[in-house]
Amino acid sequence: MTFLQHYGITEPLLIILAIDLAIAIVLLALMRYLQGWSIKVNSTKELAERDNFAFGISTAGAVAALGIVLTGAITGEAALSYTTEAIGMTAYGLFGLVLIKLGRYLHDKIALNEFPKNEEILKGNVSVAVVDAAAAIATAIIIRAVLMWAEDITIDTFIAIFSAFLVSQLILVLLTRLRESRYAKRNQDASMQQALKQGQTALAIRHSGYMIAMALSFNAASHFILYIPTAYLNNIFGWLVFSFVMLVLMSLVIALVKKLVLAGINLAEEVEKQHNIGIAAVEMAISIAVALILTALMA
Specify the pLDDT at position 40: 75
Domain span at 37:
3-298
Largest CA distance in the chain: 73
Q: How confident is residue 41, by pLDDT bands cut at 50, 70 and 90?
A: confident
Number of domains in the chain: 1
Most confident of 62-71, 93-102, 273-282: 273-282
Query: Do the beta carbons of residue 201 and residue 234 sit within 8 Å?
Result: no
- With bands split at pLDDT 50, 70 and 90, how would you rate the model's confidence at 102? confident
- Report, as an integer, the average pLDDT of 10-22: 77
| Measured CA distances, 237 to 20, 102, 232 (Å) | 33, 21, 9
Compare 81 and 213 and report the one with higher pLDDT.
213
Least confident of 137-151, 201-215, 227-241: 227-241
Tell me the average pLDDT of the chain. 84
**Which uninterrupted H or E stretch holds 213?**
helix 201-218
User: How distant, in Å, are the alpha carbons of 70, 198, 213, 259 from that of 58?
Assistant: 19, 17, 19, 32
CA atoms within 13 A on the CB side of 85: 22
Note the pTM of the prediction, 2 decimals.
0.87
In this prediction, residue 278 carries a pLDDT of 94
Q: How far is CA 27 from CA 127, 160, 190, 261, in A?
A: 27, 23, 41, 41
Instruction: Write the pLDDT tens digit of every residue in 267-292.
Output: 888 999 999 999 999 999 999 999 99
Q: How confident is the model at residue 235 (pLDDT cuts 50, 70, 90)?
A: confident
What residues contact residue 288 under an 8 Å CB cut-off, 6+ apart?
209, 212, 213, 216
List all residues 6 or more positions away from 75 whose beta carbon is below 8 Å from its beta carbon: 148
